[in-house]
Structure 1
């Protein structure tokens, strides 16, 4: 994947998930402004480029060959989808919903162990998402799962989620992403959740 050097919007946090401090203003870089998150949520169910308010938040390089034909690259589609999901996840939250190294499977296992929902219901939703065979179907399922993660203040790694969405466009990539997802979910759901979902201050 040829991602631009510009940092994706959600990367405003340290490895422990706390907001980074702006070196000029000395203020935290989050939580993000509500209007930014609203622009991202407007991308839910829409295609890359269809929401002008979202354009300033795109960071992927333009593929000149595709652009000449009015086509978005797979990287651009993946970033659009991840931004839209991040806008949903971060809405009205003061803590960061992006946490480096918390892959989707691990976050969902913590959701499963939260006692907020039936474990079977979470297993069924995860299976429904993981068995999708198209990016559009995956995104429909992910929207519901991210909404559930939001209810328990459980962050996840949006860099990893963007790669997963990208890989879902290709047969080999989808199989590899599914294997990683399965391993993360199976390992973490069997552990007692010592890594509890954070609470709002």
Structure 2
């Protein structure tokens, strides 16, 4: 049996992240503006959280992964194994975002930057008391990365995302989608767990969970 090894996957991972980012940004804008079509789409996406993409026919016309098949930019066509993993990653990221966004009037997708950390580890760390580590919560993150397959990972991440929603903690879903793609390849779980760990330790509590500057006693 031939072992499927990871291709030079950075370009594919980037395409997955960018496609997810575009989808989430458009849906989030519509949801926050209370546009009926976007609100309905988010409700449909929530029903797919924790379930394989192929098991939710209702989302087939909603999650457009067509750009993954495009080669207009000169990129080579994706192999079947890449497409399956890419489409799964987009599906999981979008459905998790829909769970996260439910009943929130602030966008729960926020891009991760060097100045404003919004990776999964940082998002979890932001829910903890300053200077303290919530070990049970940290272990949830570690456990998520040891899931047996993408569906199991999605289910474990759904529990984490529900917690983030309750705290108003934002997350970069484009970044997460790229990590979900990488996670599915041999050696991927260890790589992604390391990224989550670095993100966890990169959080410095410089911002409140909703992205604003935290209040201080002498704030105007």
Q: TM-score range by the shorter chain?
A: 0.7 to 0.9
Measured in 1, the distance between the counterparts of 2:48 and 2:130 equals 29
Cα 1:104–1:159 shift into 2, 3 Å: same
Consecutive unaligned residues of structure 2, counting only runs of 5 or more, are: 1-11, 70-76, 113-117, 212-220
Secondary structure in 2 matching 1:170? coil
* 1:51-62 pair list within 5 angstroms: 51-60=56-65, 61-62=68-69
The answer to whether the aligner puts 1:135 opposite 2:150 as a matched pair is yes
Name segments (4+ residues, structure 1) moved above 3 Å: 2-8, 62-67
Partner residue, 1:92: 103
User: In the alignment, which of 1, 5, 10 is matched to residue 24 of structure 2?
Assistant: 10
Structure with bigger gyration radius: 2
Measured in 1, the distance between the counterparts of 2:130 and 2:25 equals 26
Contact 2:30 2:39 in 1 (8 A): no
Contact 1:10 1:98 in 2 (8 A): yes
The answer to whether the aligner puts 1:124 opposite 2:136 as a matched pair is no
Deviations 1:81-126 (A, max 9, x none): 11110110011111101000111111111022379xx812212212
* Higher RCO (C-alpha 8 Å, min separation 6): 2
User: C-alpha root-mean-square deviation of aligned residues, in Å?
Assistant: 3.2
Partner residue, 2:189: 174
Cα 1:173–1:35 shift into 2, 3 Å: same
Secondary structure in 2 matching 1:198? coil
Partner residue, 1:25: none
* 1:158-173 pair list within 5 angstroms: 158-173=173-188
Partner residue, 2:52: 47
Partner residue, 1:184: 199
Partner residue, 2:123: 107
Measured in 1, the distance between the counterparts of 2:79 and 2:196 equals 33
Using structure 2 for the length normalisation, give the TM-score: 0.69
Partner residue, 1:77: 88
Contact 2:45 2:59 in 1 (8 A): yes
Contact 1:111 1:154 in 2 (8 A): yes
Contact 1:9 1:57 in 2 (8 A): no
Measured in 2, the distance between the counterparts of 1:97 and 1:159 equals 12
Partner residue, 1:144: 159
Contact 1:48 1:72 in 2 (8 A): no
Contact 1:110 1:197 in 2 (8 A): yes
How many residues are aligned here? 179
CA displacement at 1:131 relative to structure 2: 3.1
